[in-house]
């Protein structure tokens, strides 16, 4: 086991460290994080819609459903102003975060990013009228601004900002001697870089449309985005990402942060597809989504450390270890695992390496195949990351009680995996005479 840890430290850790230092990836991660309110608001709208439908169709509470009809209408308005424009908000957030990271004008960066995105989506919509399909020009299909436009927002938002940043950093701007107000000077500084960036992206889109006869956003959706999302539904890809995240965390790197661009681009997009389908009254098409990792495996935070805490409280005989577990117990109920990961510690502790990686992998595998076999609903609603285990799964799977049962089985499996290593850690610590920083000095 020590050889394996050493090999990972020599070959995997440097790669993860470099990825965590790529400023564009950090900005993309922060962009997804910054629009969490939009995601949660849209998901709450779906939960309200499902609740009204359950009350009416399954519980026979038609009177209650009628009283909740105004709330249902409000939730649909919220949907149109939040989740239905997800990619549009992402383009704004990405431009802002890139500007913050590369120290350029933040408002200008956000505007250029969203302008670059808008130039790359189709402004022609097919409309069915009396059984005939007509083309409406100079109109946007709102679906382009939701899940189907995420990759386009990332690609062209980044491209537009990159051109702008190069010109801005290169001081390609109007050099005026007059004393203008600060707001006007800031806008004038971004004038030429912004124009160059927007016309560059516009020229690229024009050439692409001229050569292919289609919009870049449409081509990107069908040629790259959807194949990647489908690839992410494969068991091998899901397990690989799960294991990599756990390995990065073991070495003290935020695995979710390192893998956020992949997680959000592929599995958050898949989750958004499910949310959109449920809102439309259709069956979710994606088996595994971004929230599936959280609700089915990461109980108490990445690594499922709530189970480790429960195991320590049940079996550990060392007072200092039990004290650390008691300190970390309350945060772990809200999926905050850092106190136990860094306080015990689990990080760089060879004794805990195998269960820290194996338990989430087993949990993900079990939940994945339960979903494939149709024994539990796939995740189809985004819930806040601080939602306690069991309740989070119940809501994320759209009020499916079977999700609670899957979580309980996964907790039992994880408990069995952690148990022998908790005993081993106690024996090793006792034999070596180790003391925790939480132990009292007399």
Same domain for 66 and 169: no
pLDDT of residue 42: 81
Same domain for 220 and 248: no
* Residue 360 within any structural domain of the chain: yes
Which structural domain, as residue segments, surrounds residue 64?
35-81
- Alpha helices by DSSP H, listed for 297-346, are 305-315, 319-332, 338-343
Count up the domains in the chain and report the number: 3
Q: Give just the sign of the alpha carbon dihedral 385, 24, 152, 227.
A: negative
Domain boundary among 61, 81, 101: 81
* Residue 430 within any structural domain of the chain: no
Same domain for 281 and 394: yes
pLDDT of residue 22: 78
Q: Dihedrals φ, ψ of 365, to 5°?
A: -60, -45
- Alpha helices by DSSP H, listed for 280-318, are 290-296, 305-315
Same domain for 207 and 100: yes
* Residue 115 within any structural domain of the chain: yes
H/E element, 384: none
pLDDT of residue 442: 31
pLDDT of residue 57: 66
* Residue 12 within any structural domain of the chain: no
Same domain for 275 and 142: no
Digit-coded pLDDT (tens) for 340-375: 887 788 887 888 888 899 999 999 999 999 999 999
- Residues of the chain falling short of pLDDT 70: 1-13, 15-17, 19-20, 57-59, 130-131, 176-178, 432-442
**How far is 213 from 243, CA to CA, in rounded Å?**
42
Same domain for 144 and 241: no
pLDDT of residue 402: 94
CB within 8 A of 399, min separation 6: which ones? 50, 51, 54
* Residue 432 within any structural domain of the chain: no
pLDDT of residue 7: 62
DSSP 254: -
Domain boundary among 81, 108, 135: 81
Same domain for 293 and 265: yes
* Residue 105 within any structural domain of the chain: yes
pLDDT of residue 232: 87
pLDDT of residue 94: 92
Domain boundary among 199, 231, 263: 231
Same domain for 107 and 59: no
Same domain for 223 and 367: no
pLDDT of residue 438: 39
* Residue 6 within any structural domain of the chain: no
Same domain for 303 and 400: yes
Cα angle 240, 222, 94; round to 5: 70
21, with CB counted inside 10 A (0-12, 13-18, 19+), is exposed
Same domain for 182 and 153: yes
pLDDT of residue 434: 52
CB within 8 A of 47, min separation 6: which ones? 381, 395, 398
* Residue 23 within any structural domain of the chain: no
Same domain for 402 and 260: yes
């Amino acid at each position: 086991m020590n050889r394996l840890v050493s090999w990972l430290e020599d070959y995997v850790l440097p790669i993860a460290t470099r990825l965590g230092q790529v400023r564009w990836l950090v900005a993309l991660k922060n962009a997804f994080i910054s629009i969490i309110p939009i995601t949660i608001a849209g998901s709450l709208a779906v939960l309200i819609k499902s609740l009204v439908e359950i009350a009416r169709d399954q519980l026979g509470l038609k009177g209650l459903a009628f009283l909740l009809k105004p709330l249902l209408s409000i939730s649909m308005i919220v949907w149109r102003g939040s989740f239905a424009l997800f990619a549009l908000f992402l383009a704004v957030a990405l431009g802002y975060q890139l500007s913050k990271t590369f120290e350029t004008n933040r408002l200008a960066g956000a505007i250029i990013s969203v302008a670059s995105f808008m130039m790359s989506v189709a402004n022609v919509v097919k409309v069915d009228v009396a059984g005939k399909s007509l083309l409406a020009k100079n109109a946007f299909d709102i679906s382009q601004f939701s899940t189907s436009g995420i990759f386009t927002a990332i690609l062209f938002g980044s491209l537009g900002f990159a051109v702008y940043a190069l010109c801005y950093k290169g001081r390609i701007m109007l050099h005026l001697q007059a004393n203008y107000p600060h707001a006007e000077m800031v806008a004038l500084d971004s004038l030429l870089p912004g124009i160059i960036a927007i016309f560059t992206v516009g020229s690229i889109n024009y050439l692409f449309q001229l050569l292919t006869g289609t919009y870049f956003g449409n081509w990107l959706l069908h040629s790259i985005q959807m194949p990647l999302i489908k690839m992410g539904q494969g068991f091998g890809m899901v397990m690989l990402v799960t294991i990599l995240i756990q390995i990065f965390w073991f070495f003290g790197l935020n695995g979710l942060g390192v893998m956020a661009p992949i997680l959000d681009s592929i599995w958050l997009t898949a989750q958004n597809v499910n949310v959109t389908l449920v809102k439309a009254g259709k069956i979710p098409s994606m088996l595994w989504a971004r929230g599936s990792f959280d609700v089915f495996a990461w109980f108490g935070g990445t690594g499922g450390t709530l189970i480790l805490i429960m195991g320590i409280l049940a079996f550990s005989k060392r007072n200092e270890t039990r004290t650390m577990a008691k300190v970390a117990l309350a945060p772990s109920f809200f999926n905050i695992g850092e106190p136990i990961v860094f306080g015990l510690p689990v990080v760089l502790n060879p004794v805990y390496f195998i269960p820290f990686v194996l338990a989430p992998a087993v949990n993900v595998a079990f939940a994945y195949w339960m979903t494939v076999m149709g024994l539990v609903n796939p995740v189809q609603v985004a819930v806040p990351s601080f939602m306690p285990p069991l309740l989070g799964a119940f809501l994320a799977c759209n009020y499916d009680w079977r999700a609670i049962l899957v979580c309980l089985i996964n907790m039992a499996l994880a408990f069995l995996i952690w148990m022998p290593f908790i005993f081993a850690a106690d024996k090793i610590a006792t034999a070596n005479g180790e003391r925790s920083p939480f132990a009292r000095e007399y």
